[in-house]
Amino acid sequence: MQGSLLEKKWHVLSISLCTLFTFLLLYIFRDVDDNRLVSWKWVFSDVEIIWFVFLIAAGIIFTYALLNSPVTRQMPSVFLFLSSFAISAIFWKTPEVIVDTSRYFTQAKHLEIYGIRHFISEWGKDISVWTDLPLVPFLYGLIFKLFGEARAFIQVFTTFVFSMTVVLTYLIGRTLSDEDTGFFAGVLLWGVPYIFSQVPLMLVDVPTMFFLTLSIYTFIMALQKGGAWIAVSSISIFCAVFSKYSAWMMLSVLCIVFMVYLKKGRRATGQGHEKRTRIISRGISVVLTAGLLVGLIVMFKFDVISGQIEFLLDYQAPGLRRWGESFISTFFYQVHPFITIAALYSVYEAFRKKDRKFLIVSWLIFLIVLLQIRRSRYIMVAFPMLTLMASYGLQKIETMEIRRYIASSIVAASLVVAIFAYLPFLQSTSLVNLKDAGGFLDSIDADRIEVFTVPSKETVVNPAVSVPLLDLFTKKDIFYHHDRGLSLPFEKIEKSPLRFTWEYKNPAYYADGHKAVDNNAVVVVISNASVKKFPDDIEEKIRGYKNIGVFENSSGIFRYSPALRIFAPEGM
């Protein structure tokens, strides 16, 4: 007994030292991280690293106690959901740090103002959609219409779907393997710090991850149980299809699920033939139902969708090679390296055991490596499967306490990085100016806001996309007239990942007659970084106005750094 206790203490000490050593090693070589949003060379550029060591050590103790509590073991789904929600809520104060948000907000606001029928009929026409699919903006628009146009409601939704993704990861692992594999897979999703930089944002990536994971789980249940699960699976696939185009390729995992269960049915004794027949019947029912639902939408919007697919092949696919990030960045910095190592080991273990079900959880990662998809945002939808692989590998460790301690170390280190490095960095980026300016506008006595944007030859981002982002953060009515004649030469933006900003189409609700601006409106001028002199028309507009607000915070890292100045009439 004493020898066993000493052995456990030695394992605990070894794991703790390895965790701290790994963190310090990543920190020393942080210039290797080429992530485009939260690279370690940026987020750790001005920190006291010794504090992170203490925080990780304390976090391991706290996390281990949490995972070892009776409530955790008795109600794993509830624990995973509530814990995921609570952790994610810490990041709600993050500003919108990716300008793509402007597209989804604009589409959602169309539904809020003009209704569902208008959204459906004008999607791809009056509503500019770039390469977006309609489902997630549609859901955002419903949230605005039912609860009000506030970012907080969107964040509750995205946090909810992420928390449900954690639960679904647990359920998939439990179904394919056992309770422990599922539970640790769910927990290990907290060991991906990059995810927490995305959960609070009004984008489509987190909802897409949810719908893809939901599709995998419900399809498994449809094959196993049939009945109502066939309808639920069909609807889940439909939602995944219309969340994001990249999900189409990822849904190929359902073919792997079908083949694995069909093979399992063939090996069954006694009623094997009957079981195979049921699996085939259920699989075909799901495919036909989902195909019918998807086909109706594709037929209705065929011109738009076919045009988007052609554009994706001509522009997006080649662009991914230029805009990519290294696998080292994604799988060793944005994912805790212990997860990656455990996932790699799981391949050997599954091959040794000839475990066909492992093909289901490893297929998406195989696709990513095979097709060289090198962008964390596009890979993120497969992270639940990655943690399932890692959890599968962890099961080789026989002692539950050691597995739990390794998971605690992974989670503690990752959450410390996310909360104390990523979050402060994201709050210091220049896009926080839009958030702060929106809050300031809500605090002053002004009913209408007139916005001007100042184009710049020094950036490939059209400042007009900042107007929807500002609108997201203020309750005030905005009036904005966009001059489409102000653009850059096509050859300068042709291959830019931000080319969509120059195809900005001013929504009618920013120029409607009932929002006509009077001479007493507050004026907001948005430029790329601080400018000394505005164009003549803006100077004429603000003549006799006083400057009541300046928001020019800049990290100096990103190409677009929106700066805002707010002016009000002298008598106001």
Residue 198: strand, helix, or coil: helix
- Please determine, for residue 512, whether its predicted confidence score (pLDDT) is greater than 60: yes
pLDDT for 272 equals: 66
Residue 90 is encoded by which pair of tokens?
A: 């810490």
pLDDT tier at 1, thresholds 50, 70, 90: very low
Identify which has the larger pLDDT, 455 or 290.
290
> Domain limits of the chain?
2-428, 432-569
Each residue of 376-429: pLDDT tens digit? 999 999 999 999 999 999 999 989 999 999 999 999 999 999 999 999 999 999
Residue 7 is encoded by which pair of tokens?
A: 């052995």
Query: Rounded CA gap, 7 and 13, in Å?
Result: 10
| Residue given tokens 């694995």 in the structure block | 260
Each residue of 324-360: pLDDT tens digit? 899 999 999 999 999 999 999 999 999 999 999 999 9
Q: Please indicate, yes or no, whether the overall pTM of this predicted structure exceeds 0.85.
A: yes
Query: Rounded CA gap, 508 and 138, in Å?
Result: 18
The alpha helices in 372-422, defined as continuous H runs, are 376-379, 383-394, 400-417
pLDDT for 267 equals: 63
- Please determine, for residue 114, whether its predicted confidence score (pLDDT) is greater than 50: yes
The alpha helices in 336-495, defined as continuous H runs, are 337-353, 358-371, 376-379, 383-394, 400-417, 423-428, 432-443, 466-472, 490-493
- Please determine, for residue 514, whether its predicted confidence score (pLDDT) is greater than 50: no
- What own/partner pairs with CB < 8 Å and gap ≥ 24 does 533-542 have? 534/452, 534/454, 535/454, 538/452, 538/454, 541/450, 541/452, 542/567
Q: What is the mean pLDDT of residues 127-144?
A: 97
Q: CA torsion angle for 46, 50, 52, 57 (degrees, to 10)?
A: 180
pLDDT for 98 equals: 95
Nearest to 558 by CA among 376, 415, 429, 422: 429
Separation in Å, CA 119 to CA 75, 106, 112, 124: 41, 11, 9, 9
User: Could you tell me whether strands 522-528 and 545-551 are parallel, antiparallel, or unpaired per DSSP bridges?
Assistant: unpaired
pLDDT for 530 equals: 72
Residue 480: strand, helix, or coil: strand
Residue 403 is encoded by which pair of tokens?
A: 């597995």
3-state secondary structure 145-180: HHHCCCHHHHHHHHHHHHHHHHHHHHHHHHHHCCHH
User: Contact 375/363 with Cβ under 8 angstroms?
Assistant: no
Residue 323 is encoded by which pair of tokens?
A: 């805009």
Q: What is the mean pLDDT of residues 442-451?
A: 89
- Please determine, for residue 71, whether its predicted confidence score (pLDDT) is greater than 90: no
Query: Rounded CA gap, 336 and 333, in Å?
Result: 6
- Please determine, for residue 286, whether its predicted confidence score (pLDDT) is greater than 70: yes
User: Contact 422/94 with Cβ under 8 angstroms?
Assistant: no
**Residue-averaged pLDDT of the chain:** 92
- Please determine, for residue 492, whether its predicted confidence score (pLDDT) is greater than 60: yes
* Residue 546, C-beta contacts closer than 8 angstroms, at least 6 positions apart: 567, 568, 569, 570
| Residue given tokens 């539904």 in the structure block | 111
Query: Rounded CA gap, 209 and 161, in Å?
Result: 9
* Residue 478, C-beta contacts closer than 8 angstroms, at least 6 positions apart: 448, 449, 450, 451, 467, 470, 471, 510, 515
Separation in Å, CA 246 to CA 3, 316, 501: 53, 11, 21
* Residue 245, C-beta contacts closer than 8 angstroms, at least 6 positions apart: 131, 133, 308, 309, 312
pLDDT for 521 equals: 84
pLDDT tier at 83, thresholds 50, 70, 90: very high
pLDDT for 269 equals: 54
Query: Rounded CA gap, 91 and 95, in Å?
Result: 9
Each residue of 17-65: pLDDT tens digit? 999 999 999 999 999 999 999 999 999 998 899 999 999 999 999 999 9
E strand residue ranges, 185-278: none
pLDDT tier at 460, thresholds 50, 70, 90: confident
pLDDT for 9 equals: 80
Angle at 493 between CA 490 and CA 496, to 5 degrees: 150
Residue 213 is encoded by which pair of tokens?
A: 């994971």
pLDDT for 189 equals: 98
